[in-house]
Structure 1
Amino acid sequence: MPPRAVVRNHYRGLVLTVISMTGRLLLAHWPALLAWFLAGILVRYLVIELAGFVGAFSALGGQLLLPLAILARLVSFVAMFLVLRDGMARLGTIAVLPRDALARRRAFVDAVLGGILPFFAFYAAWGYLRDDWFAYLARGLEVQQGIIFGSMLSGEAVSTEGTLDQLVFEPATIALIVVAFVGRWAWNRYRDRLPKWSAIGAVYLEAIWVFLTVILISQALGWVSEWVQSRQAMVWLADIRTWVTTQVEPIAWVWEGVEWLLGEAGGIILLPLAWLTIAGVVYGQAVAPQAPRLGGALVDRARGRFSSLPEALRRRLGDLWWELASRFRPIGRAVVLMWRAGPVLVGGYVLLYTIVLGFEQMLRFWITRLIGPQDFYAFWTVADTVVLLLVPLIVEPLRVTLVASAYDATLARLVPTSVPDSSGLDEQPGEPGKRLGRDELDGERPGGVERDEERDGDREGVGPGPGA
């Protein structure tokens, strides 16, 4: 068989494996997936209600509680991903599922800590953070209206200054970020000497500094965008575009088509890749020792120059680099793994994810048609939340199992062919029967950096044994 046909059959088999594994995992674990999803929604709602109530009296208190709403969703999704681990063949081959309760608890904490940064960034980029913020403001304003009405009846003066304010760049906010980051670093350094319950505080500190940083970065990007849009050069570009498109109509069609394509690319391509990256971060805590690494002449030359530095300097730079990059390294590993998986597998996964999105929209359509026309105030204002909740109850477990199955398929490049697999899909494309060499794995690093990372990895609980 020609090599190209071998590659085509290999990836076709992987996509079919993703479909079959999605169905198998969904049938085996849907009650647990549903329970964790409902728990995340319920806790998020309760936290937003509490944050809005506290925010009506103190903006700082409300905004310190609000990250817990996002954290509740993250914990529920991490639990949903980890529930599926026992049915993921390749992941189970690379990282054995931890058996004792201590290892499982440690793996769960590591998965949550590793997922906070990418999940919060994803949460903000897709507008979910804005929805939570508006819900928080609505609850806070409702409480304040009750307070003001009560003050009018009693004749007492009530001040709402310093309540429900949005965070801005000010010394108190920056100091809070620094304190939370340092506290998280201290826990990471001394976690073995601290009680087990201190992990809850570490997760909260990580969520606080990431949440505040994401908020401030979003504000900064908004200011930059407003400044750019207000420049005279942007007005000239808009005028040029209007003149060109009116003079040459085909250019207007192309321009609008490009704008439409770029706008749709976020939901069609970036959204499924973002979910796959989050799954890679959650599961990547287990496969870190076998994760693929970037290579090439530039990378090898940089490693060689780093090895030529004095050992003491290498150690200090290695410690500093580890502290700065440890939160981004799982994201990088997940992206590299997707890159190694190839465009056919990733494209097939994106297509399957798009089908799930279409199924979600179809469910919304048919549920509303099945209920039929109802009075808005008598029915929809009361039952809309329960009715529309049926859609995510069906779609979210399907979405998570699809993402987990796709991630397991990307591990085909890390699993040797000696592992029993009825599909025979663990062979490299075009090279049947060839096992992966050490250069395909996350091998040695120059100088003392490897020793530093291994030492810190052991302290973080990221090792080949317990996994995530």
Structure 2
Amino acid sequence: MSALAPLLPTWLVLLRRYGPQLMAIWLIGMLAEDVLTEIAVHIGFLNQLAGLSTLTLVVLTKLVMIVAMFELIRPGLPSLQAAAKAAESAEAEASGTGSAGFTTALSLALVPFFAFYAAWGFLGDTVREYSKLALDLTPFGQNARILDVSGGWWLLASVATAWLVRLGAKQMHKRSSHVFWPILIVVCEANWAFIALYVLTNWHNEITAFIAHLPETMGGWLFPAAKAAAVAPSVENTPTSWGDALTSLFFYALYPVVWLTLAALVYGYDIGRSGAPAPGRWSRAIARWDGLPQSLRDFLGHFVAGTAKRYRALAEGVGLTFSSGLALIVAVIIIFRILDWASAWAWYGAARLIGPHEIGLWQIIAHALSIAFGSPSAPGNGALIMPLKVTLLAAGLETGFARGRQWRSAYRPAISTP
């Protein structure tokens, strides 16, 4: 319990200090997502691929919101802030460069966020909202094929164009320090990441459907009489195995860990820039890279500098997450899921309290409740709940990092004493 004691006070201080600002950022982001989705639909009516490319900005807006919320809280995290400033000073002395800035955190979090966004089904939700809005705006289905962009030369041309624009933006960024060029680079990277994930998701669904029907097809060829007599059991009578239950529990707990890792990536990328990772973090792979001859590192870095930088930052973030301590991580997971549970019941309780109304009015009420608490299918994503979650994750990382530094400072003299 002594390890968890600082978590609650730190959480409450962050919530009191930054809660209203975090809520405003989330509301602005939700409004921007709705506006950009409608713009993407209207562009998609003219060209399907251009509409899907514009939909990239919707996902990127979500990432911008998350990074902005964590960056807003950074001044309230003294241990993490002190480590980041120390690493920044060390890097400035070594290379003459200063702070990496918001766009660097955004770029480093881009690939992990898109992978998380697709793995948990949020990419499909965004595409469904896009398609649903297109059908609402054309009730007779004139634009029913708005998502028909799964292949062809236009898709390759879109990715090639984004790559060329990104290459030009990187060259311009070397000549000018204007903030526009890093933002353009991030938008181009998000563009091809989103389109690639969308196409791979479509292929994955087709391959999965083919494999799922393969035994049934082969069974029909080999044993037609048995196939005709076979009757699938009802859903109610299908037992749930222990393996399925444990798998569901694992992914239920993994979702808060992914959020915690994203937060650690935002806070930890600049802590690791000094080139001397602290003990207790996953620094062995990084140390092996640093141990290579300088000429070999320069040669390989010319080709993989951007990728290596991303994976190094991700390794630092994962290390920062798990170095917080198992008890602290479990506490953050439990509180995170309690917030989801409470927001779902708050939605249900508010609906019961409001009572029945006409369907048109209820749609407006339901939308307002979803803005506040999150939708019933995805509770916890509302403007009242997200500040609680973001400050909880930041408080967990600050508490774990501060405890680790105190432990190391108290432990090192003890082992050096003869």
- Size of the aligned set, in residue pairs, is 378
- State TM-score, norm by structure 1: 0.71
Instruction: Tell me which amino acid in the other structure corresponds to 2:115.
Output: A
Cα pair 1:277 1:334 within 8 Å, conserved: yes
Q: 1:108 to 1:191 in 2, by over 3 A?
A: same
* 2:49 maps to which of 39, 50, 60: 60
Deviations 1:55-107 (CA, angstroms, capped at 9, x unpaired) = 12210221121011111121122111111111112112212399xxx978x61
2:58 is matched with 69
Q: 1:71 to 1:301 in 2, by over 3 A?
A: closer
- The Cα shift of 1:265 comes to 2.3
1:396 is matched with 386
Q: 1:75 to 1:228 in 2, by over 3 A?
A: same
Name the SS of the counterpart of 2:146 in structure 1: coil
Q: Distance in 1 between matches of 2:80 and 2:189?
A: 27
Q: Distance in 2 between matches of 1:36 and 1:91?
A: 22
Q: 1:57 to 1:312 in 2, by over 3 A?
A: same
Q: 1:54 to 1:24 in 2, by over 3 A?
A: same
> Is the counterpart of residue 230 in structure 1 residue 230 in structure 2?
no
Q: Distance in 2 between matches of 1:359 and 1:54?
A: 39
1:423 is matched with none
- The Cα shift of 1:381 comes to 2.2
Deviations 1:148-189 (CA, angstroms, capped at 9, x unpaired) = 6xxxxxxxxxxx59x512432434323433442454355345
> Is the counterpart of residue 129 in structure 1 residue 109 in structure 2?
no
Identity fraction in percent = 24
Q: Distance in 2 between matches of 1:65 and 1:436?
A: 58
Q: Distance in 1 between matches of 2:271 and 2:400?
A: 12
Cα pair 2:347 2:369 within 8 Å, conserved: no
Name the SS of the counterpart of 1:348 in structure 2: helix
Q: Distance in 2 between matches of 1:138 and 1:131?
A: 10
> Is the counterpart of residue 434 in structure 1 residue 416 in structure 2?
no
Deviations 1:323-362 (CA, angstroms, capped at 9, x unpaired) = 3333333222212222333322222221221222222222
Q: Distance in 2 between matches of 1:48 and 1:84?
A: 28
Structure 2 unaligned spans of 5+ = 89-96, 220-225, 227-232, 374-381
Name the SS of the counterpart of 1:427 in structure 2: helix
Q: Distance in 1 between matches of 2:179 and 2:333?
A: 40
Q: 1:178 to 1:331 in 2, by over 3 A?
A: farther
1:85 is matched with 74
> Is the counterpart of residue 316 in structure 1 residue 294 in structure 2?
no
| C-alpha RMSD over aligned residues | 3.4
2:319 is matched with 336
Runs (4+) of structure 1 exceeding 6 A deviation are 233-236, 298-304
1:143 is matched with 137
- The Cα shift of 1:390 comes to 1.8
- State TM-score, norm by structure 2: 0.79
> Is the counterpart of residue 279 in structure 1 residue 263 in structure 2?
yes
Name the SS of the counterpart of 1:15 in structure 2: coil
Cα pair 1:228 1:234 within 8 Å, conserved: no
1:118 is matched with 112
1:38 is matched with 27
- The Cα shift of 1:273 comes to 0.8
Q: Distance in 2 between matches of 1:432 and 1:301?
A: 28
- The Cα shift of 1:276 comes to 0.9
Cα pair 1:114 1:327 within 8 Å, conserved: yes
